[in-house]
A and B are shown apart, each in its own frame.
Chain A
Amino acid sequence: MSFVDVTLQLLQGFLVTLEIFAISWLLAIPLGVFFCSISICRFKWIRKVMSVFIWVIRGTPLMLQIIIIFYVPGLLFNLPSLDRMVSVIIAIVINYAVYFSEIYRAGYESISKGQKEAGFVLGLSKSEIFFKVYLKQIIKKIIPPMTNETISLVKDTALARVITIPEVLKSAQEIVAKDAIIWPLFYTAVFYLAIVGILSIILKLYEKKLSYIAS
């Protein structure tokens, strides 16, 4: 296979990688907010249930979670298996929403109580305190850890190959098996580095935009 043929085949796989990443990222961000709101709610027993859920999700490999979501409904309940792509996205969304929720929680808890009190004595409503005082401070604080998690998410899309989704690494493995050449496998790194590089630049620019320095 020529270099161009390999590139074209890997590009097809890369589009699948991008699809998994984009959908999972966009869904995990709001789901993380929901998980976070449960983690900091005032009902102790709900918080306890959430902490057990977080422990389970963080304590087991994402690969295992993908396998469970794809195979277990059929094995245990005799239900038809979910679509492969849907299974992978559900597993990644839940897994990353849990990590994101912990980042949001840490960001929320890092804002001093004095900010809330200042908002109160200045006559701001509860929603104004959250949206105008807390939110921008939280976003600024969570961007660096969210950048790390986003980069991890890009790389974790490669786990989709365990249920034979033809993402970029799976595409390379197929070329290796079919044409007995190893270099396409290493070549996949270029695709990952490209997307990680672009995301890092975008998030860095956003972080800079939020810096508290007058122009």
Chain B
Amino acid sequence: MSYLEIKNIAKRFEDNKVVLKDFSFSLEKGETISLIGNSGSGKTTFLRILNFLLPMDSGSIVLEGKELCNGSSLSYQEKQKLNSNFGLVFQNMNLFPQYTALDNILLPLKSKLKKEAKEQAKEEKKKWKLIYQERLDQEMTSLKELASTFLLTEKLNHYPNQLSGGEAQRVAILRALVLKPKILCFDEPTSALDPKLKQEVANTILHLKKVGTTMIVVTHEMELALAVSDKVIYLEKGSIIEVGDKSILLTPKSDKLKAFLSLRSTDDESKEEKRRAF
């Protein structure tokens, strides 16, 4: 039994366009899997399904041997409860502009701790505020350590519009991480960043890999996929074309993956040439 099992997920959009077809894979605890493929291949749709932002038509998601969902409709609360197993870092970060970096991180953390403290208080017949404050103090200590690891200590009082792209992305990662998801998902975490900032974010993801975080990374960046992945899935038009360890990025078997990778390297070379010329 694997840590996460994705079984036969299918999804069509309203215009009847197939976005995911018989999509299955498994992931072990502490592993990182990268989903690669062209735009429209269904990578982001899968992440949205996994995080309960989109319903799937059929299939199932099994985590630690327990089926979380099988395509049946769920209420907002049910979806949110199941979603707490996953964390998602969006491509464009989606930080809340009206809050500082620290408040962006604390808002969901406080909400979660409050809910948990209220439930615990009911069971133990204690005042929830006392439990909440105690838990918050503990979390603040670990948050400060994480912020220091992510090189964000000096930036916590800055608003998102005062952060660089790399810093904002690290805040978004930290915001998802403090909720202690079992699996952390990244949707194109470096696509909007320049090479230097890409490296900063890649280092952060590598650090998470070292400390044993289970991750799913959707990316266009082959360097990132090579650096962080234990497994790689190549998708095209919603179907898995090739799956394997990261060596498939260097020695692809299918012609489609070969074509995709050669196109990417041509793209990267022309980008590099343009950058140098500039």
Contact = CB atoms under 8 A, between A and B. Distances in A.
A135 to B, nearest CB: 9
Nearest to B175: A122
Contacts of B158: 214
A114 interface: yes
Contacts of A114: 90, 92, 94
Contacts of A212: 97-98, 159-162
Interface residues of B, number: 33
Contacts of A199: none
A118 B87 CA distance: 10
Interface residues of A, number: 22
In this complex, the member of B87, B94, B100, B160 whose beta carbon has the largest number of chain A beta carbons within 10 angstroms is B94
Nearest to B159: A212
Contact of A213 (B94, B115, B162): B162
A121 B92 CA distance: 14
Contacts of B108: 122-124
A128 B111 CA distance: 9
A152 B76 CA distance: 42
Interface string B104-123: 00011001100100000000
Interface of B: 51-53, 76, 79-80, 83-84, 86-88, 90, 92, 94-98, 100, 107-108, 111-112, 115, 157-162, 175-176, 179
A115 B175 CA distance: 14
A172 to B, nearest CB: 45
A109 interface: no
A125 to B, nearest CB: 7
29 contacts: A112-B94, A114-B92, A114-B94, A117-B53, A117-B90, A118-B90, A118-B94, A118-B95, A120-B53, A120-B79, A121-B52, A121-B83, A121-B86, A121-B87, A121-B88, A122-B108, A122-B175, A122-B176, A122-B179, A123-B83, A123-B108, A123-B115, A123-B179, A124-B107, A124-B111, A125-B80, A125-B111, A210-B98, A214-B157
Contacts of A124: 107-108, 111
Given A118-B96, A137-B97, A137-B98, A214 B159 contact: yes
A76 B115 CA distance: 58
Interface in A180-215: 210, 212-214
B235 to A, nearest CB: 22
Interface in A99-144: 112, 114-115, 117-118, 120-126, 128, 132-133, 136-137, 140
Given A123-B112, A123-B115, 11 more contacts: A117-B53, A120-B52, A120-B80, A121-B86, A122-B108, A122-B176, A123-B179, A126-B76, A132-B107, A213-B162, A214-B159
Contacts of A112: 94
A132 B111 CA distance: 11
A1 B179 CA distance: 74
Contacts of B159: 212-214
B111 to A, nearest CB: 6
B88 A133 contact: no
Q: What 8 A-B pairs have minimum CB-CB distances, sorted nearest first?
A: A122-B108, A118-B94, A212-B159, A114-B94, A136-B98, A121-B88, A214-B158, A121-B51
Contacts of A214: 100, 157-159, 162
Contacts of B83: 120-121, 123
Nearest to B81: A123
Contacts of A213: 159, 161-162
Nearest to A122: B108
Contacts of B97: 137, 212
A124 B76 CA distance: 11
B84 A123 contact: yes
Among A118, A210, A213, the most chain B Cβ lie within 10 Å of the Cβ of A118
Nearest to A128: B111
B88 A140 contact: no
B183 to A, nearest CB: 12
